[in-house]
Structure formats: structure tokens, C-alpha cells
Chains A and B, each alone.
Chain A
Amino acid sequence: MHRYVMPGVSRREALKCAGAGFGYLAFAGLSTMAAESSNPLAPKPTHFPARAKHVIFLCMEGAPSHVDTFDYKPQLGRDNGRSMPGARTRAARLLGSPWGFQQHGQSGLWISELFPELAACADDLCLLNGMHTDVPAHPQAFLQLHTGVSQFKRPSLGAWTFYGLGTENENLPGFITIGPPQNNGGPANYGSAFLPAICQGTPIRTAFGGFAGGGGGGFGRRGRSNSSGTVSNIRNPRLDRDSQRTQLDFIQSLNQEALRREQHDPAVEGAIESYELAFRMQAEMPQVMDTSDESAETKALYGIGQQASDTFGSQCLLARRFVEAGVRFIELTSRQWDHHTNLREALPNKAASIDKPIAGLLQDLKQRGLLDETLVLWGGEFGRTPYAQGDDGRDHNHRGFTTWMAGGGTKGGFVHGATDDYGYEAVAGKVHIHDWHATILHLLGLDHERLTYRYAGRDMRLTDVKGNVVREILA
């Protein structure tokens, strides 16, 4: 009994070897087959030459304060304690940043002392200081950040990216979200909505269980040191690899019989293909996620092993490994940036948890020559008020905030846009979330007006009917 499909052999080759390919190969030449052979995973041509091939989105859930991090407002410091005209709360007093800012790098970017490591990468950062969004409430703004709208179920940025570009590695999912958000819309933030299901983000869970991933023998559940999460059903809780291969060969031989009988059945062909991909994923996913082959220096670079930065550092390292492996879009979520109270203590802790990991990621990508083709995004759903809430917190502010980009065809050491003297409202170089989306797609070689999917009688877009590419930041 020969094996019909061998690991590492493409389906088509396998079909040839086994002589079982009557269904597909017999009709492969038919003109009517052309449409059906389109593989949603295959790399697709871009609309124009791409600057970036991969995206790492460092998502800061809860909305980090821009005036304490990347938007230097000396006037706010000078007017500390004064009331602010036009503020939402009448008694609001301006709160100068408790942290000092300094210029860094050749570019002289102003960065707060909260990010000493990241400041060393100033010349790689492209600050968008004129960001704004529609609603100053987490759930709506967080969904808008990911899908463009909050009122309707729409595909997420990662799903659109994967849909537009396909993948470079058919052994892995094209869109991976590490430690995905549970609140503020949860899975809707990495869903595919009406796009093909394969475009949805594959969650790698770190701690939280939830409904999904019902104990499917997740990888790396124990012993977190060399891994940072699990993928649902990626490991067989019973069978070793050889036994499973024997079982899978049997499954595939049954599938081949079915295909031979039906002669033409794309679903069975798809199942045969999907099983081989799944089997390869079982091998490759844990390999990519097993970071034991990384050197001590590399891990130190990401702040792995240090209490503050171990978790996010491990995730950043994972992100780099996924980029190397050809994954198109990787999102990382850092939670609890919602500093209404206890700003002076909590914000430095949060900053410390991501500072070294992100700096390490940028340096590592750069030294491996990957930063040019990898667009790194940093930001939350909005920013925070320049005036205080209580005496040690800041409220939500959607009128002006900061996100930044690095690599992937953006200008390094560059600032685009500005808020007013206090950091309350974007006044120049304004970038709405729709513009941000349009720009990201542009860097990936996709025209946001042409990346469409027909649904409910209409050609849907990530940017709806809006969005302008921020050309000023293109390198």
C-alpha cells in the first residue's frame, strides 16, 4: 500500500505520483476550471509596487497618553494646574507631563523619558502626532481602529491585508493575533466578517480561555519559557507524529477514493489540501513558536527574562519569527493603557513592559534586514486629555493623539502632524483612522479604493467611502 500523499510534497505532485488525480488533473486544462483553481492562500499581485511585505501591529488597548510619551507639549508643562478652556469637565486642570522629554537621534525627535530604549530608535520612528478618531469610548474606537467602523460587523485590517496579498508561507496562517483582545468587540477585531473565513486572524492565546480553544491539546500550555501561547487544536493529545501520519494517510486515501468516485468535487480536493496544510502547520507552528534556539543575547535584547518586559518581549520575538516565516500580518495586544487614575505609577510600569521589547524588535528586524519590508505600527484607540482627571489621571481624548510607524517604506526620524499647544486637538497634518488604514494598505502596495469585496450588493472597502493616503510620510 503506497502513501497517497507525502509530507512536504505538494498535492499536485502527490496526485501525479499516486496516479489518483483523475478528478483534478483530467480537467485542469478546461477553461471553466480556471476560476475554481484560485487559491485564497496564494500570493497575489499588488496594485502597485509594495514598500512593505509584512505588518506587525503593536496594539495598545486602553489608549495610551500621547502627551506623556511621544507628543512633547512644553506649554502644557508651563500652564500646569491652570484650567483649560473648552474642556469637557469644567473644573479640569491642565496636567503637565510628570516626565521629561528629550530630543533623540540625528532627527532630534522628542521622546519622553518613559521610553529610554525606544528613544534610541528615534531615527527609525515616524510619529503621527495629528491622529484623531470618531468616538471617545473604548469599544467603538477600538473596533474602528481595527475595522474602520463600530456600528457594523466588518473585516479587520489584518483580514483585509491577507485577503489583498495572500501569504508567502502556506504552512502557516496569513494573519496571526497574539494574545488577542477579549473586550471591546473581542474577536470582531480580528474577524473576517464577509471575507473568506481563511482571512480571519488565528489567535494565539496567552492566558485567557474563553469559549474557543476547548482544550485542543494546545501547544506550549505548560512551560512558558520558550513559548508565548497556544493555537487551537495544533497538537494531538493522543497520537505521536508517525501514528498520526499513518492515520492521516488513511483519511487521505478515503478522500482520494471519494474524489475518484465524484470525479469533480472541489470540496474534497480542498479537504485533501487542507489536511496536508494542517499537518504541516502542526510541525511548523510549534517550531516557529519554540524560541529555544534563540541566543541569550537576542532574548536579552527583547527584555525577555526581565520581570517587567518578559511577556511582551516574548511576544515581540515571536512576531519577528513569524515575519521570518512569511506570515503577512501579526498583531500583538498590550492591555490596560486606560489610565484614568494612578497615572504616575501605572504609566511608567506599562511603558517599561513594552519599551525594551519594542526597541529590541526594531533593532533585531533592522540587523536582519527585515525592517525595510516590515511595517511596524504602534498605537491605541485614541489618546488622553491634557487636563487631569482627579489629580493623577487623564480622561479619553479622541480629538488628538499619537501613533507611530517604523520601517516598511515610512520616513524614519520623522514627525507628521501636530496637536495644539496642549495636545488636546489635532490641528495640523490630521490623520483619521480611515487615513491611517489607507496609508497602511498603500505601503503594502494596495489601493484602498480598489481593495474591495462585494457584499450585500455593494463593493465594500476597509475605508468605506473615506480615507486619504498620508503621502508625506512615505520614504
Chain B
Amino acid sequence: MSRWSMRIALYWGMSLAGLGVAAPALFAQSGSEAERMAFFERHIRPVLVAECYSCHSAQADEIGGGLTLDTRDGIRQGGDTGPAVVPGSASRSLLVKAIRQTDPNLQMPPDKKLPAEVIANFERWIAQGADDPRDGEAAVARKYEIDIQQGRQYWAFQVPCDTVPPPVRATDWPRSDIDRFVLAAMEAQGAHPVADADPHSLVRRLYLDLIGLPPSPDDVSQFVALHAQDAQAAVAATVDKLLENPGFGERWGRHWLDVVRYAESSGQATNFAFPHAWRYRDWVIESLNADTPYDQFIRQQLAGDLLPAEDERQRAANMVATGFLAIGPKSLSERNRQQFQADVVDEQIDATFQAFQALTVACARCHDHRFDPIPQTDYYALAGIFRSTETCYGTIRVVQSNHPSPLLELPREADATQPYPPLTAARRELIERQIESQQEQMAELTSRDQLIRRIFMASRVTQLRSQLDLYDGDGMPRPLAMGVRESRQAADSPLYIRGEINQPSDRVERGFPQVLTVRQPAIGSRSSGRRELADWIASPDNPLTARVMANRVWLHLIGRGLVATPDNFGASGQPPSHPELLDYLAVRFVQDGWSIKRLIRSIVLSRTYQLSSQFDYENFEKDPENVLVWRMPKRRLEAEALRDSMLLLGGNLNLQPPAGSLVARGGEGNVGFRITGDPAATETNRSVYLPIVRDQLPEMLTVFDFPDPSLIVGERAATTIPAQSLYLMNNPFVQRQADGLASRVMQASEDDVERIKQAWLLGYSRPPTDSEINLALKFLDDYGVQHSVRATWAAFCQAILASAEFAQR
């Protein structure tokens, strides 16, 4: 939920803050009570009914500003910010202020101004005591009070229980406990699992799910042969092999990078490079390959700088891991320093709690959370922790970039990867000369009209200096990284009323959301509390951590989360479809040492995962969304898996990870102007290594639903849009891969049918059907009439790459 947008209807509050409760003034009453009531009935009530009740009554769909005007209590009690009517004092009555429309922030009715005589009537009515016959209690309770105790009863806020698999009727179907949970739910709904997947579908699914690349024809034939002997042994052996493949980290690391809004630039209105962000990307990939226990993975990202390290290499890794907190989008053009810092902290709270806890805690920046039991004080308890943390993201101070920060420098002994060669003496001299020359020119610009030129030249100097700053005195690249460290001073944060930085209120002691914790941490006066936060999130006692991650893993393998809103386990998210299974997975996950690989392995070895995609009419009628997982429908590949598969088949994929990133080689500065060409077309490394510049993503990625890297996205969209078809039909990159594939297919055999079979194995991991062979031969004949043999096979191979099945697993 957007914090900003939650500055709802605050006009009722702004003008009243500080006024306090107005003591009823002495007021002059005139006329009899009956006359005054008659006045109300004739001049006041009709206006209230006609102009106000639609938003400010018990009947309103949503009560504006917490204010009801349909009872005497309501109108005198007022809304979020105070009494609308103070009997006897028109000047103190917000209602009068609103209808006079003298304050631009307080104008009612919203779309017009009442006639002057109507306003005068209201003033007179209030001055005479605001007589009001409308008994009854105000419809709106004074304030929405959060009940923490009751909030703890919510399923997601209770620690997962070690659940026992339920009994099932079809006892011969389940292969594992997971299957028993899934089957029991199906049986309860009268659905049944479809047939098991054939070995060709299964091996393709395993490869693409685990490493993001399709199996080679040899892999396929080996698997099929083994599968015929012992199906489960074949699957287990393949899974174990793939989990050890470096491609595992590249695929599953990217899933995590979606969640943590990984990108290499600031985004927002002005877009400045984060040339060192890639280190975090590489760390994520390495951690997944090393199967770093998930609790450790969390601790490193939130407080790596505060963890003990065995050696400098580990120390460096811990520092890089905290990049999680530094890579978020930043409004560098913001002029107000305090506002900027508050926004950075807000972004960190949002990312931390959505990524690890699937909670929208940041909703509580401006007011208590509307759906979850998270009061605004909880938000500022966390804000204190992050405000006591220094975020090191780099950037330079130039036009439109007002908030550069230091970067972390990794220990030399860690021998960190260097993304660019050392600086030559000649190059250094060149840059220094450019700086001098700019400075000389600037010195000549003195008149006021030349101010803008001066500013731009100063920016240029800063930019040039930043190039030199990337190297040490010997010209060796400095091992720089994004991340966080403790601030010089640790302090609690004030609560900011309505989230506005110029409205600080009482300080809130640093701590964690109350609903999730019984005992608040003891945070030392000199430490931020980040270490405690990391330990608390990475604890088996945290009700959300293991569940949230187990759900993410399930989502990527099964195609639908047990909780369908993977980034929101709160009351506005979805309840779990299989709550006991979710708890079972979470508990096992912790018991298995928080091993992500073991969690994946247990799911992949289930019979559920190995179901075919076969359609079933009866099941479909009962459960069209396949919530029960009665089949494993085909799914569209993510942009990266699609591009990598094309490169692989075209014989152009370079499996060697690159050193650094294109963005790193560009250095600091505004990235918007710098980018030329299309790296997705020219680079040949795996797609996880493509430059991820916010709002300047490679076209291929955006066309195929790469998530916006300014947002936390646990589940990607899978759209089917014409831009995808145009890309696959017409983009030269696709045609190049088709050419490469054509060469391989043509080399494989002289015989058309053999070539077709080879193309099918490469493209779809299965042999063609007779009908497909006929379709293919027909195409070769038709197309071959006007085109050369090579061109015909190229067009044929492009058709394979462009077909829907190629883009599915």
C-alpha cells in the first residue's frame, strides 16, 4: 500500500493541529428553542443531506476523513482531526472553514462552493448554539484502535505447527508427505490427480525449473533410458546433478533478485548509476549455489557488517550482502535532505518486510495500518533502526543529484572480482588534463547569465573526478561495494504525524512490530538494532520467515503460491490454500538447516510436482484455477530462460559469468544519456548478467514481463502480447539464433526427417509426432520453392524458437 497515497483526507487535520479542544464560548442565543430547531430543519438539515451525507454519514460507502455529519454527536465530535462544529463559535468550527473555502486544503463540498446565504445560515446556526435534534451515536468509532492481542490470533502471526500429513483414500498415490497433503485436499473437493508426466516433459521441466536452460538431446535420451528402469532414481540423480550446476544459482538467484528490487541505477525522476550493485547480484548467485542456510542469508543481508567473519573473504561477502538495503530506488533529485533520508528509510523498511516477512509494514508510515495490526508506532520503532544505519550507495553530486554517499571499500585481502582493468598513467593524465581545462574555462565564466553553464561544467568536473576515484594511487581498481554500516550515532526516531517530516512527535523506542513479538529486543544505546532485527527475522520463532520463503519456493516450482499473494501475508492478502502443507514445509525447512536446495529437492521429488499437464474436464469444473494442483499446467518461460534457451540453441551462449557489469564499466553519473545499443542483442552471457538499469531495461526483457525493478515482485506476470510476437518474428537476435540452430540441425544429418527430429529434441526436448513431421515437411516444401536450403532451414528453426511450446516448460 502506498504510504504517500495514505495521506488521505487530511485536510480536516492540518488546520486544526494545535488548536486543542475548544472550550464552548459564551454565545448569544436568540429566539426560542422551537424557532432554532425550525431554523435547523429549514436551513441546515436539507443542506447537510444534499451536500454532505454522501460522504459523511453512516450511509456513506466510505466515510470521508472519519467524519459523520448525520448525528449531533458526529458533527460535534468531528472527524480525524477535530470537531466540525463548535457550538457558539463559527470561527472555530472546521465545517464553516470548509464551506467558506478560504483554506485551499480545506474545501467542502469538494466540487463547488455553497451560495453565500447558505454559508451565512450555517454561521448563524452555529453562533446560536448549533441546536441539533439528531440523537444517536456517531457512526464512526472515535478511532480505529489496533488490538495487538487479538491481532496475534491471525494465522500468519502464529508460529507454524509441525503438522502431520492427513490420511488419504488413494493410499497408493502419494510418494511423499507433500503428496498426502495435496491429495487429501483434492479428495475433500472431489478432484483427483491426473496422470504422471512423461519422461520427456519431466526432464525438460527439471532442467528449466532448476537451471533455466533446456536439456541437450543427450541429456534427454539418458534421462529417458534411466527413467524406463527406475523413474524415481532417474529424477533424483538428475535433480542432484542440476542442484550442483552453477546454473542453479543463476536461475534461483534471479528469483531472489526480483524480490529485492535489484537494479543498477537509482531510477525515479533522475536516473543515476549504481556501478557497484553487481557485487550484490554475484553474491546472491554464489550464496544460492553454496546453499547458504536461509537464516544466514537473511542475517548477512540485514546485518552482514555486524557479523563475525572467519577471514577477509567472508568479511567482504558479508559487506556485499548488505547491498540489499542500498540498491533500492532513490529520488536523488529531492531537495530536502530530511525528506530524502526518510524516503530511504521507508524504502528499506518496505523491502525488508515485504521480502522476508511478506508484510506491508510501510503502510504504517502515515497512520496505523488499515488492515493489519501494525500501529504507526511500530513503523517508527523500525525507522529508528534504519535511521541509525548509514546507507552507502555512491552516486555523485551533480545537477539533479543532491545526495551522494560514500561506498563500502572491501578488504584487499578478499581479492574481490575487478570489473575493469587498472588505470594507465596515460589515461589518468588525460582525465586530469580534462579536469584542469574545465576548471580554467569555469574561472572565466563570471557573469550571472553564465551560471547555468558553470553548473554544468562543475558537474562535468565531478564526473571526471569520480572516474579517478574508482582507482587507488597505483591505478588499481578499488574494491568498492554498496551496502550499509552503523551510523556514528544511534537514536530512536520520532513519530512523524501523517509521515510528514516537519511534524515530528514523540520518539519511539527502537523495536519490532508488536504483533510479531512478545519480548522486545534489548538494543544497546550505541547500536542501531539491525543485528537484533536480523536475528529476530532469521529465527525459527518468527512466524513468517520460513513460511514466506517456503511459499516462494513452492510458487516457482508449482506455478502458484500456497499463499497466492507471496509478498503479502497480511489480512489484505490471500489465505493459504493448504495451510497445513505450508506449515509442514516451513517446519521442515527450518529442521533441514534452512537449506533451500533440500526444500527444492523435497518438492521436486513429490508426485505432485511430477504430474502431467493433462487436462481433465471434471477437475476443471470444480477447480478451474488448479488451486488443488490436480495437474501441472505448462507455463511460459521467464524472459531470461527464453533468451538463454535461444542463445543455447543458437550455439552462442557464453556460460562464463562476466566480471562485473556493463553499468560498472560506465562509472558514476546519469545513466539515461549514456546507454546506446541493445545489450540483450549483443551480449552472450546468461541473461541474469544483463545490465539492469531502472526504466532502461533491455527491450527483450520488458517485452517478456521482466518485473519493474523499482517494485518488489515475488511473482511475475505472464502476458501474451503482440510485442512478443513481433519480437520473435522480426528481431535480428532471434534470427541469428535461428541461423545457429539451423547450422547445427543441418550438420546433424543429411536427411530431412532426421533433421526435424533433431530440431524437435533441441527445441522441445521430445521427438516429433507423425503429424508434426508432416507439417514440418510440408513447410520445407512450400518454403523451399522460393528460398535456398539454408534460408529454408533458418526460417524453419526460427519457427521452432517462435512457437508457443518453445517458450514453455
Contacts and interface: CB of A to CB of B under 8 A. Distances in A.
Q: Do A and B belong to a common assembly?
A: yes
Interface of A: 1, 27, 30, 32-33, 36, 137-140, 142-143, 149-153, 173, 182-188, 191, 193-194, 196-198, 202, 209-217, 232-239, 243-244, 246-251, 253-255, 257-258, 262-265, 267-268, 270-275, 277-279, 281-282, 340-341, 390-392, 430, 456-458, 460, 464-465, 468-469, 471
Nearest to B1: A458
14 contacts: A150-B269, A183-B672, A187-B696, A191-B708, A197-B721, A211-B696, A211-B699, A214-B700, A235-B730, A243-B783, A265-B634, A456-B1, A457-B568, A457-B570
A197 B696 contact: no
B805 interface: yes
A1 B782 CA distance: 10
Contacts of B6: 465
Contacts of A198: 719, 721
Interface stretch (B37-45, B302-310, B481-489, B673-681): B673-681
Interface residues of B, number: 103
B695 A267 contact: no
Given A233-B723, A251-B799, A278-B726, A267 B1 contact: no
B613 A262 contact: yes
B265 to A, nearest CB: 11
Nearest to A154: B2
Interface stretch (B86-94, B139-147, B768-776): B768-776
Contacts of B104: 430
Interface stretch (B293-301, B542-550, B731-739): B731-739
Contacts of A239: 795
Given A197-B705, A213-B678, A215-B732, 13 more contacts: A1-B775, A33-B624, A153-B708, A214-B699, A216-B726, A233-B730, A246-B783, A255-B805, A258-B803, A275-B725, A390-B448, A465-B5, A468-B110
A274 B720 contact: yes
B675 A210 contact: yes
Nearest to A187: B695
Contact of A32 (B268, B452, B621, B672): B621
Nearest to B763: A254
B710 interface: yes
A243 B786 contact: yes
B526 interface: no
B730 A217 contact: yes
Contacts of B318: none
Interface in B92-116: 104, 110-112
A233 B731 contact: yes
Contacts of B5: 149, 458, 460, 464-465
Nearest to B807: A271
A186 B696 contact: yes
A473 to B, nearest CB: 13
Contacts of A258: 803-805
Contacts of A279: 725, 729
B331 interface: yes
A344 to B, nearest CB: 13
Contacts of A216: 726-727, 730-732
Given A1-B775, A246-B783, A250-B775, A186 B720 contact: no
B4 interface: yes
Contacts of A140: 269, 331, 333
Interface in B759-786: 769, 771-772, 775-776, 778-779, 782-783, 786
Given A153-B711, A215-B681, A32 B804 contact: no
Given A214-B677, A267-B634, A457-B568, A237 B732 contact: yes
Given A30-B621, A465-B8, A267 B718 contact: yes
Interface in B658-680: 672-673, 675-680
Interface string B407-442: 000000000000000000000000000000000000
Contacts of B798: 247
A271 B733 CA distance: 20
Contacts of B679: 211
A210 to B, nearest CB: 6
A255 B20 CA distance: 70
A334 to B, nearest CB: 19
A211 B111 contact: no
B706 to A, nearest CB: 10
Interface string B600-628: 00000000000001110100110010000
Contact of B723 (A139, A182, A232, A247): A232
A456 B1 CA distance: 5
B244 interface: no
A173 B722 CA distance: 9
A289 B494 CA distance: 58
A267 B732 contact: no
B726 A282 contact: yes
B390 interface: no
Contact of A197 (B615, B673, B719): B719
A186 B731 CA distance: 23
In this complex, which of A213, A279, A456, A469 has the most chain B Cβ atoms within 10 angstroms of its Cβ? A456
A144 to B, nearest CB: 10
A340 B633 CA distance: 59
B677 A209 contact: yes
Contacts of A30: 620-621
Nearest to A458: B1
B262 to A, nearest CB: 15
B387 to A, nearest CB: 19
B126 interface: no
A183 B617 CA distance: 52
A232 B726 contact: yes
Nearest to A150: B269
Given A211-B679, A250-B775, A137 B729 contact: no
A200 B24 CA distance: 56
Contact of A185 (B110, B269, B699): B269
A265 B726 contact: no
A139 B799 contact: no
Contacts of B243: none
A210 B624 CA distance: 43
A225 B143 CA distance: 65
Contact of B572 (A149, A265, A458, A471): A458
Contact of A236 (B270, B723, B729, B787): B729
A439 B90 CA distance: 33
Interface in B3-22: 4-9
A24 to B, nearest CB: 12
B333 A139 contact: yes
B699 A457 contact: no
B266 to A, nearest CB: 11
A281 B726 contact: yes
B782 A246 contact: yes
B335 interface: yes
A372 to B, nearest CB: 25
B808 interface: yes
B680 A457 contact: no
B269 A139 contact: yes
B573 interface: yes
A170 B93 CA distance: 56
Contact of A277 (B343, B725, B786): B725
Contacts of B723: 202, 232-233, 278
A136 to B, nearest CB: 10
B800 to A, nearest CB: 8
A250 B775 CA distance: 7
B546 to A, nearest CB: 22
Given A140-B269, A212-B678, A340-B452, A263 B615 contact: yes
Contacts of B808: 267-268
A54 B413 CA distance: 63
A371 B257 CA distance: 48
Contacts of B460: none
Contacts of A209: 676-677
Contact of B449 (A193, A278, A390): A390
Q: Give 9 nearest A-B pairs by CB, closest first.
A: A139-B269, A214-B678, A270-B720, A457-B572, A278-B725, A263-B615, A212-B699, A233-B726, A32-B624
